[in-house]
Structure 1
């Protein structure tokens, strides 16, 4: 029984882990939560007690394709799961079983440990289409992860180049986010195909055609070099391949970029001038806006290299590098076991991504099930999986039908439930313990120890506890702490100093920790610049304008620009039938991806699946605001509600994602449009048509 009395918890309606105070009734039941003003955070208690919540293990009765399940106990459920996975391992090899984690992310180290101790290399996550392309491109280019988003304002910044992110709908404190707050003497440039609230606050808005970020960035580089605005002294010392890069960008004049990107030539010149001469300037990016394209990896490299060309790398007011503040002890066993395991899914097709990210590639899961490359996947154990995350979702669902065994863990039924053989009920963040570490800026981090503040509903269990229980059922109790979740967290906490861990446990709201300035005996004075002490941890020891790692893998070493696989320029014949550029994934303040759409308070804010279209495009199609429309692509068609306004530029349609009944990923491409380096899908640049529904 949880003792009544004020406590703290951390919210997991997104992954910011905001602290909330917990208040109890006299009988020990939850009364209310108080914390940041956030519509998603406000539904935590509604989620816990929602009538559609899964509260007991469910076993399929009859064939797949329906929702016929019977409740069973945990012992039977774990026995079924363990025996089915083991049978596949005995028949086809352990690598024929995949282990996937979507949301929540807290159990990922436990799940990866299970996958590898089971003998499978095929642990995979939603990060196969989320932040990892930016991570890998930044590490490959700079040797460090570049800080391009922050909850903290750098007071020295005099120019912000905000590239297709809109914190007003995505991250606390939303409309008061310091990065987008107008400030005297600070220029703000926003690159976005939509005239978002962030763009409305800007001094200059560049309404880019989705998927052409690289061409725009290269044109800004062009102007920096042509006008003598580049930091030549810095580049001469710290840039690898800079002369080849200079030669390449000469062709990307503002006039040429204007034709490609649909941005006025004069505005490109103005953006370059402000970024170069009104510094220090900071790039502000999201984790995916530049990378969820068929050409996204190299586009992102072209964008982040602007900081190097202008000399804004790792300086106050520019773009810093992340440094480790505190890191839990790794319990995933990837480094210890991966070299003893067969090849991962995606290792052959996406070697650069696979060499730098410790997982199999989830975007190839459907192909691995269907085609068996490098091995057929026959069993899938998945935490928080929703098939609508995958491009060309209908094809992915057909692949899931071919599995011999599919077990999913979740809070609620999802579209994947119709194909699952076994469904296990997950505990919410109010009901589960976790060790949480996060970075909020270069030198600041947060460590939290979330405790259970209310008992799980029904027979729900924490994701990590389910993983531990399954590991024990598979005969590996010793390696899984004999099912003791707290013991696993104690081992993770060995990455903290004993004093810090003790303090974290005493401070339920979490502790702020700081990294130190860079110091070295070989440096005469303290410096905050990592590269002045350590150089850049790349093959050349410099910033990789021309990346040898890419060349060795058969790719262009320079951040070359290529048209999206589907576009008005690359596929003009296809564009006759599908003349609009489709971009997706703009955030709604009400939802985190496909989550939270059962809650009345959030549906009241954002009740319907919408597609944004400019009034000129709507008039051509006799579409009025609020009309039901058919949105189609070569993959299929869905029904949405038209949002007709001029916050989206002509020639483009923006569809909100995450709606099961109007899943825009039924329209996106899942093979030829995968980025050749990162494997990321083209969620944000393909072709479509809109018509008024019959």
Structure 2
């Protein structure tokens, strides 16, 4: 028996773990955080349905009929077909998609751009990136990443549509859920989460009205003189126009829009504005997965600026870059030498900041040839459940001339593929990991595989390097050597710690230069970096009125617009679909669709659940545990009713990421956010009916 150190990759928190090996060097036990995701790694490795050999489709697309082939046959054929697509239609007609794992993104993106295609796409087309871009446009810095880090100096905490017990390891013991005596707590969430039950104020808003609520806060802050006027005078651009705009967002109007009590709004705004330092904890997706999500998020984050809580200890800190691996993705080459990416034509602000094409446009590219025609696709960890109106995406995959996927298990996407390649798990593959950490501190480590892959599985990164070799680019792809690719990436790490990154299995803590710069320039409190560097925006200030957005033809102010589907914006549609549909609340028992096959996780949540309030269930004859049909203009999907007063009346929440009940078959793929291209997963209309 022996033990080896590794990291868990059942989500991207990269928690350290210890793995026990038996006398045959087979892993038999994992010790790590008290997290159900951590414990299923061996179940994933040993699952009887895991894909262990290269597969070639022999039946119709979607039939699931495959035959086992050799790696040589698979890789040679794939290289030939990709080359043929390039010769006939041009390299940009081939897309390269990265879902999970994110670890092999550098190798896949390098393959795309070396091949000549700008169209490397990722799951970030609907996750996280919109919050980052909104923050960069407004502040020049990211703040979401650091917003979940707890400071002992915070006196008021505004938790905006995130539930740490279900979404942030270590879940039930995360500092966010361990409320400190004397700290004020405000929670914004259409669901009454355990944290909301502990809150001083719970604002259960109608999904998609986050922007209106934030503007209502701003109205009250200016009306009562609670703003940090000295900060605004020195560091704000466009604040007068913004102040004029929010005058219309009176408490009465905002309460009506959001479906909350006016007095609760007034109390919450006063608590946040007058109890400094105050911090907003943000979700990577909850505010931006709406048809007006980008501007909604801007309205929310500007609350930190208007109250002077920006980059202060106890407030919302900037995320600062630390020592990091050298980029090997060839994205600079893509920007300077390759044609526009998918999305450059439609979402130029988003693509300016995000190093990929916009994946939400992929069905349009395949089916309609807009904004570009995609004819072939090489994908890692793809599932159609990630796309709104998922059946349309499934149909699109069936229309491709050639399609290859790497994965652990089959899903609706892999069943459409011409080849499916077996992927190694995180216990079976190496990776150079750069964990972002908090405002000034991060972590680097090199994770070695602790066991050989099962069957003929290979690391995704190695597969992409081997394809690069077969495409005639052996030298550019380290002759297929994955460890060599990571070694070149490691050249970006300072030489004095590089060896330790490789040798210390627990990783190496790294720090941002910004903290040293502050101290060296006499700012001993080591916060408010803008005093030294300003704001990295067009004006050098906080952009209440964004110059960059105006130049791109958008509103510079964070204008509120109703969700594209809502009882207000589409009253005729609401006759047939009278309930607001939202989805995607996290639980610790799944990471999107990754744990569909894992029995331990399914035992925890055996059924796809639709949460519905008793006031909405009763007139429909629905009781707890009934099978129900959720329908929208896109179709209908069966769920199991969870009748609970924890969900706002008039709202239905459905679990996401399930292959047996994919809520995104019902979501809207036509009203994408005009700036980011994000879909409105979280604010639509639906009807619920009892089955039978």
Using the size of structure 2 for normalisation, the TM-score is 0.98
C-alpha distance in 1 between matches for 2:678 and 2:662: 18
The 5 A counterparts of 1:89-100 are: 89-100=86-97
| Counterpart position of 1:274 | 271
Who is 1:237 aligned against? Answer: 234
Find the counterpart in structure 1 of residue 686 from structure 2: 688
Q: Is the 8 A contact 1:189 1:202 kept in 2?
A: yes
Q: Secondary structure in 2 aligned to 1:431?
A: coil
Structure 1 window deviating more from structure 2 (145-154 vs 216-225): it is 145-154
Q: Residue 652 of structure 1 corresponds to which residue in structure 2?
A: 651
User: Are 1:518 and 1:530, in contact at CA under 8 Å, matched by a contact in 2?
Assistant: no
For the residue of structure 2 that corresponds to 1:8, the secondary structure is strand
Q: Deviations for 1:332-362, whole angstroms, at most 9, x for unmatched residues?
A: 0111232211111111111111111111100
* 1:522-576 C-alpha deviation (Å, 9 max, x unpaired): 9454443210011001110100100011111111000000000000000001001
Could you say which residue in structure 1 is the equivalent of 2:56?
59
Match of 1:605 in 2: 604
Give the 3-state SS of the residue equivalent to 2:673 in structure 1: coil
What residue in structure 1 maps to residue 14 of structure 2?
A: 17
Picking from 277, 289, 302, the partner of 1:305 is: 302
Within 5 Å, give how 1:667-686 maps onto structure 2. 667-671=666-670, 673-686=671-684
Distance 1:540 1:523 in 2: 23
Contact 1:194 1:649 in 2 (8 A): yes
More divergent stretch after superposition (659-668 vs 25-34): 25-34
Contact 2:36/2:589 (8 A) holds in 1: yes
Equivalence for 2:411: 414
Runs of 5+ consecutive residues of structure 2 not aligned to the other structure? none
When residues 257 and 150 of structure 1 are mapped into structure 2, their CA distance, relative to the original with a 3 A threshold, is closer
Per-residue Cα deviation, 1:374-416 (whole angstroms, up to 9, x for no partner): 3310000000000111000111111111100000000111111
1:515 and 1:522, CA in 2 relative to 1: closer, same or farther beyond 3 A?
closer
What corresponds to 2:370 in structure 1? 373
Question: In terms of mean alpha carbon deviation, does 440-449 or 430-439 score higher?
Answer: 440-449
Report if aligned partners of 2:287, 2:296 keep a CA contact under 8 Å in 1.
Answer: yes
Query: Would you identify which runs of 4 or more consecutive aligned residues in structure 1 move more than 3 Å?
Result: 147-152, 520-527
SS in 2 for 1:112: helix
Please give the alpha-carbon distance, in whole angstroms, between the structure 1 residues aligned to 2:53 and 2:5.
27
Q: Tell me the secondary structure at the aligned position of residue 630 of structure 2.
A: strand
Partner of 1:534: 533
SS at match of 1:401: helix
- Distance change (3 Å), C-alpha of 1:521 and 1:156: closer
Distance 2:126 2:294 in 1: 12
CA contact (8 A) 2:383 2:413 kept: yes
User: 2:584 and 2:114 mapped to 1: Cα distance?
Assistant: 36
Matched, 1:509 2:512: no
Equivalent positions of 1:315-330 (< 5 A) are: 315-330=312-327
User: Which residue of structure 1 aligns with residue 639 of structure 2?
Assistant: 640
User: CA separation in 2, counterparts of 1:232 and 1:333?
Assistant: 45
- Whether contact under 8 Å (2:211, 2:296) holds in the other structure is yes
* Conserved? CA contact 1:149–1:285, under 8 Å: no
- C-alpha distance in 2, partners of 1:197/1:25? 41
User: Do structure 1's residue 579 and structure 2's residue 578 form an aligned pair?
Assistant: yes
Q: Which moved more, 1:587-596 or 1:146-155?
A: 146-155
CA distance in 1, matches of 2:649, 2:44: 39
User: CA, structure 1 residues 218+485, in 2 after alignment: closer, same or farther (shift >3 Å)?
Assistant: same
* 1:259 aligns to 2:250 (yes or no): no
Q: Pick one of 517, 520, 530 that aligns with 1:519.
A: 517
Q: Counterpart of 1:350?
A: 347
Give yes or no for contact 2:208–2:563 (8 Å, CA) kept in 1: yes
**Residues 521 and 599 of structure 1, relative CA distance in 2, 3 Å threshold:** closer
Cα displacement (A) at 1:417: 2.3
CA distance in 1, matches of 2:459, 2:240: 54
1:359 and 1:100 map into 2 onto residues whose CA distance is 10
SS in 1 for 2:273: helix
- The answer (yes or no) to whether the contact 1:330–1:492 under 8 Å persists in 2 is yes
Contact 1:180 1:201 in 2 (8 A): no
Instruction: Name the residue aligned to 2:551.
Output: 552
Alignment equivalent of 2:439, drawn from 435, 439, 442: 442
1:617 aligns with 2:639: no
TM-score, structure 1 as length reference: 0.98
Query: How many corresponding residue pairs?
Result: 690
2:588 corresponds in structure 1 to: 589
SS at match of 1:40: helix
Residue 191 of structure 2 is aligned to residue 194 of structure 1: yes
Q: What's the CA shift for 1:512?
A: 2.1
**d(CA) in 2 for partners of 1:21 and 1:511?**
17
Q: C-alpha distance in 1, partners of 2:264/2:564?
A: 27
- How many Å separate the matches in 2 of 1:123 and 1:616? 46
Match of 1:36 among 22, 33, 38: 33
| Contact 1:149/1:286 (8 A) holds in 2 | no
Q: How does 1:42-81 map to 2 (within 5 A)?
A: 42-81=39-78
Q: Shift of residue 64 of structure 1?
A: 1.5
Structure 1 residue ranges without an equivalent (≥5): none
Q: Cα distance, 1:597 vs. partner?
A: 1.9
Task: Name which of 148, 170, 182 aligns with 2:179.
Answer: 182
Q: Who is 1:215 aligned against?
A: 212
Q: CA deviation at 1:518?
A: 4.7
Q: Secondary structure of the residue that 2:135 maps to in structure 1? A: helix
Deviation per CA, 1:190-219: give whole Å up to 9, x if none. 000000112112111000000000000000
DSSP-derived class of the 1:491 partner: helix
Which deviates further from its counterpart, 448-457 or 177-186? 177-186
Tell me the equivalent position of 1:543: 542
Query: Per the alignment, in what secondary structure is the counterpart of residue 653 of structure 1?
Result: strand
Q: Is the 8 A contact 1:582 1:685 kept in 2?
A: yes
Distance 2:518 2:282 in 1: 32
When structure 1 is superposed on structure 2, of 47-56 and 393-402 the one drifting more is 393-402
Distance 1:28 1:93 in 2: 47
Q: Note closer, same or farther for the CA distance 1:525–1:660 as it changes in structure 2 (3 Å cut).
A: closer
Q: CA deviation at 1:373?
A: 2.1
Distance in 2 of aligned mates of 1:370 and 1:417: 18
Find the counterpart in structure 1 of residue 119 from structure 2. Answer: 122
Q: Is the 8 A contact 2:323 2:494 kept in 1?
A: no
State the shift of 1:103 in Å. 0.5
From 142, 145, 165, the equivalent of 1:145 is 142
Displacement, 1:180? 2.5
Moved more, 515-524 or 463-472: 515-524
1:499 matches 2:496? yes
Inter-partner Cα distance in structure 1 for 2:147 and 2:11: 16
